[in-house]
Structure 1
Amino acid sequence: MYKRKYLIKGELQVPGDKSISHRAVILGSIANGRTEIVNFLDSEDCMRTVEAFRLMGVSIQKNDNVLIIDGKGLHGLVEPTMPLYFGNSGTTARLMLGLLSGLPFSTLVYGDKSLTKRPMERVIKPLQQMGVQTIGRKESNYLPLALRGGSLTGITYNIPVKSAQVKSALLLAGLLANGKTTVIEQGQTRNHSENMLKAFGASIEVEDNMITIDSSMSLKATDVYIPGDISSAAFLLAAAAIIPGSNLVIKNVGLNETRTGFLDVLTNMGGLYTLSNIRDSGGETIGDISITYNELTGTVISGEIVPRLIDEIPIIALLATQAKGKTIIKDASELRVKETDRIHAVVDVLTKLGANIVETKDGMEIVGGTNLTGGTVSSYDDHRIAMMIVIASLVTTDIVKVDELQSIAISYPRFMQDLESVLRKYVV
């Protein structure tokens, strides 16, 4: 790829947030009326959610970067005549399992090879307590799954893991259950579902880590603006943070406090960035991020901050290889059940590129100040590992060869084009 001959300069806007795009499609499809979603992320993952609702009778059209949904209402979806394919999208799978559990028909759902290996028990167990009937591999812990929904009863459920997907699945099921459903979290996770449910008129109450939703007669369509995805922006921000002479502005980025752990880590490591043009849209904070290169130092990442940056840990690990001192990442065992075992994948890739990094049970330890050397690596068919490799190639002394980059389209289809737009060759 690139080798160490470029710096980062310029201004751009990253695509819409993946998490919010999924949720906007789901709620727009079950609301009454027309919802227009501006800056929708047209990625492989999000389109799996779109296609699922089309198969259940929802009219969804795309006009430039606007997705237009004519909602069918809470009780207007029709039984799909074929299985629903969720591809690689864990978000689609877990959130849709929640919604499908409340619908009075049968559904068969499946995914690709990667998604078929990801555990669904954390979602299925509480949904079974609410009344859904399931048939699937290993006691319905893995896709493919067959569901017979309807006749749910609200429950109070303590989520044993920190997972916004489990929480969101239960809240969606709660929309269609008899009585109230209360979800109690171990600690705060991303709250896009709560924000959007409020915007669509759901009866929902949030008190600390306890969220209660009452079954609704209807949701009211509302237009949604999707802010730029901070998880995608993190890769470009990281490039500017570690390449001398770089400065970059990314506009209209989502700054929801449940998602800004990456920025907190940058601050702790000595990164130089500013936030400007901060505003609110539909309960989501949006703003511009300006970053300039500065020498970084190692840090410790653990505890409550981890759910706020779980998707950014691969690129944080790369930052740590270029920082002075030691960085310790722990309490991140959730990475083991992502698209791949991301702890192992990150350590394997960066080790092959010359980093001083070791794998631990729930994270990794990195000794920084390393000259990365290049080499041949695998992306593990994981979009975030693939993007980390591309950014790493900007600071290596030799060429990096990678088996595939197509997986990047899962979350950031125009990543390479955006990166190329802000690359500048060093002038000696």
Structure 2
Amino acid sequence: MNIKVYPSQVHGSIKAPASKSYTHRVLFCSALANGRSIVRNPLLCSDVYATINALRSVGVEVYVNNESIIVDGGELTQPQNPINCIESGTTMRFTVGLCSLINGKSIVTGSKSLLRRPIKPLVDALNVLGAKCTCINGLPPITVEGVLKGGSVLVDSSLSSQFISSIMIAAPKSSIGVEIRSIVEPVSKPYILITLDVMNSFNVSVKYSNDFKFISVERQNYTPKDFTVEGDWSSAAILLVLGVVGGMVTVQGLNMNSFQGDKSIVDLLKLINIPIEIGNNYVSVTKHLIKPFEFNISDTPDLFPILCVLSACSIGTCRLYGVNRLRFKESDRVVAMADGLMKMGVNVALSSDYIAIKGGRVMGGVTIDSYNDHRIAMAFTVLATIADNPIIIKNAECVSKSYPSFWDDVRRLGVKFEVV
């Protein structure tokens, strides 16, 4: 599906969709808890359905309705067929850890884009901990044979914190517990905090150093939980930038004390003097001149596409640092954003680990390839609203990966578009 987005002014209030990161983690912890857990206000998107189907493949009973997911966890069984994680990197990495607890062979695979995302650090770590894992050239698919004994392991967490989170979630069910030591300070540390928060909610105790280079999880049991998922700051950031460049937007349903790293969008907007109102569970922004800024996205990679858009709308040159590992997301996000911005007349310069974007006139009148990447499609939707001419976004349905109601929500805010 291709969508043509027109220059638009926006105004209104939207409830943030539920957090995808929390929903994934709560589902995996529920699967390991012996009994019934209830996940309230889950995000029901294609990535989460990939996790639900993965859990069902290993014998976990999962029931879905509009407002909650019920999980009867405890016993895991060997899957009868390869587990297809579609395009969900979180599902794949966490499922590999889960399968290391199963006595028997499991195969974990995914779509073409997922099969190019590195998995070797996790495979190597699980092998050290007693599971037998194999992959080819460090990439999926992965064959896993349990069971996870435990012990001490050194993990390369320079590409993704999900390698650590996967081991953490499986560790309580290992034979002797696990000590995780990182070669370098992990990237995306807020996501490890989310994992810790969810595990703690299921009464699992974790010891760790402040820099997360040392994490210790003893053998213990998960306790079933009735868990309500908070709003998603990654999606909220997109809506807030839409308001900053195009009118006035309020995003509701947010936890101001969240561990989600993308909450840092609020600090950035404050830093560049954007008019912002912060309430108990909402943030409201108004269109304003955007001062040039610098930002390191190492801990918040999902902010990269929308911060590229914010940069393109600024009155100077902005620099985003820590972009290297964005080349291994759903697309090569550095190339995807640079290519799209330049098509729209924006001046972009790439260096080894940063991108420089000079704000100014945004021409539009072009077709943008989303590369089937949900965050690319949403980012260019925002940029299209202030362009001189409409733009066409290819494969715009890919937003369902993380934000199924995106097109309905932005229409309510005043964004004009049509399917072409």
Residue 385 to residue 46, structure 1, CA distance change in 2 (3 Å): same
**In the alignment, structure 1 residue 173 sits paired with structure 2 residue 170:** yes
Partner of 2:123: 124
User: Take 1:316 and 1:254, find their aligned partners in 2: how far apart are those partners?
Assistant: 21
State the shift of 1:56 in Å: 1.7
2:334 aligned residue (331, 343, 362): 343
Write the deviation string for residues 270-328 of structure 1: whole angstroms up to 9, x where unpaired.
Answer: 22222211xxxxxxxxx3111111111111112xxx23421011010010011111101
Report the equivalent of 2:30. Answer: 28
Q: Following the alignment from structure 1 to structure 2, what is the Cα–Cα distance between the partners of residues 313 and 33?
A: 39
Length-normalised TM-score, structure 1: 0.90
CA distance in 1, matches of 2:349, 2:415: 33
Question: Residue 254 of structure 2 corresponds to which residue in structure 1?
Answer: 253
Tell me the SS of whatever aligns to 2:190: coil
- Counterpart mapping for 1:297-308 below 5 A: 297-302=291-296, 306-308=297-299
Distance (Å, rounded) in 1 between the aligned partners of 2:111 and 2:282: 36
Does 412-421 or 252-261 show the bigger shift?
Answer: 252-261
What SS does the corresponding residue of 2:102 show, helix, strand or coil? coil
Q: Is the 8 A contact 2:152 2:181 kept in 1?
A: no
Q: Distance in 2 between matches of 1:275 and 1:212?
A: 37
- Aligned equivalent of 2:215: 211
- Asked if 1:422 is matched to 2:413, the reply is yes
TM-score, structure 2 length as denominator? 0.92
Return the letter of the residue paired with 2:363: L
Give the stretch that moved more between structures: 369-378 or 34-43: 369-378
> Secondary structure, in 3 states, of the residue corresponding to 1:421?
helix
How far the C-alpha of 1:184 sits from its partner, in A, is 4.2
Structure 1 residues 313 and 43, CA gap change in structure 2 (3 angstroms): same
Deviations 1:46-83 (A, max 9, x none): 11110111122222112222111112x2xx11111111
Q: Can you list the C-alpha shifts for 1:132-167, whole angstroms capped at 9, x where unaligned?
A: 2123222xx111121101042221435441633111
Alpha-carbon deviations, 1:378-427, whole Å to 9, x = none? 001111001112111111111202221121111111100011111178xx
Indicate the residue corresponding to 1:149 in structure 2.
146
Name the SS of the counterpart of 1:253 in structure 2: coil
Letter in 2 for 1:253: L
* CA separation of 1:154 and 1:353: change in aligned 2, threshold 3 A: same
Distance in 2, matches of 1:409 and 1:369, equals 31
- Deviates most, 224-233 or 152-161: 152-161
Give aligned pairs, total.
Answer: 404
1:283 alignment counterpart: none
User: Residues 374 and 393 of structure 1 are in contact (CA less than 8 Å); yes or no, is this contact kept in structure 2?
Assistant: no
1:12 match: 14
Contact 2:181–2:215 (Cα < 8 Å) also in 1: yes
The one-letter amino acid paired with 2:270 is T
Q: What percent of counterpart residues are identical?
A: 26
CA distance in 2, matches of 1:297, 1:29: 47
Deviation at 1:332, TM superposition (A): 2.0
What stretches of structure 1 of length at least 5 have no aligned partner? Answer: 278-286
Q: C-alpha deviations, 1:204-262, integer Å up to 9, x for none? A: 1233123221111x21111111111111111111110112xx22211112442441222
1:353 matches 2:352 = no
- Farther-moved stretch of structure 1 (373-382 vs 206-215): 206-215
State the secondary structure of the residue aligned to 1:113: coil
Separation in 2 of the partners of 1:110 and 1:162? Answer: 19
- Of 387, 398, 404, 1:407 maps to 398
> Is 1:290–2:292 an aligned residue pair?
no
- The residue number in structure 2 matching 1:45 is 47
Distance across 2 between alignment mates of 1:313 and 1:151: 36
Query: What are the within-5 Å matches in structure 2 for residues 9-408 of structure 1?
Result: 9-71=11-73, 73=74, 76-138=75-137, 141-161=138-158, 163-184=160-181, 186-187=185-186, 188-190=189-191, 191-209=193-211, 210-216=214-220, 218-243=221-246, 246-255=247-256, 256-259=258-261, 260-277=263-280, 287-302=281-296, 306-408=297-399
Structure 2 unmatched runs, 5+: none
Question: Counterparts of 1:258 and 1:418 in 2: how far apart (Å)?
Answer: 22
Whether contact under 8 Å (1:203, 1:215) holds in the other structure is no
Secondary structure in 2 matching 1:189: helix
**Matches of 1:270 and 1:361 in 2, distance apart?**
30
Instruction: State how far apart, in whole Å, the 2-side matches of 1:383 and 1:197 are.
Output: 28
Q: Distance in 2 between matches of 1:390 and 1:196?
A: 33
Q: Distance in 1 between matches of 2:56 and 2:145?
A: 19
SS at match of 2:63: strand
What CA distance in whole angstroms lies between the structure 2 residues aligned with 1:29 and 1:12? 32
1-structure distance, mates of 2:148, 2:226? 31
**Aligned twin of 1:282:** none
Change (3 A) 1:164 1:135: closer
AA aligned opposite 1:265: L
**Partner-residue secondary structure (3-state), 2:208:** strand
Distance 1:295 1:29, change over 3 A: same
Deviates more, 1:111-120 or 1:398-407: 398-407
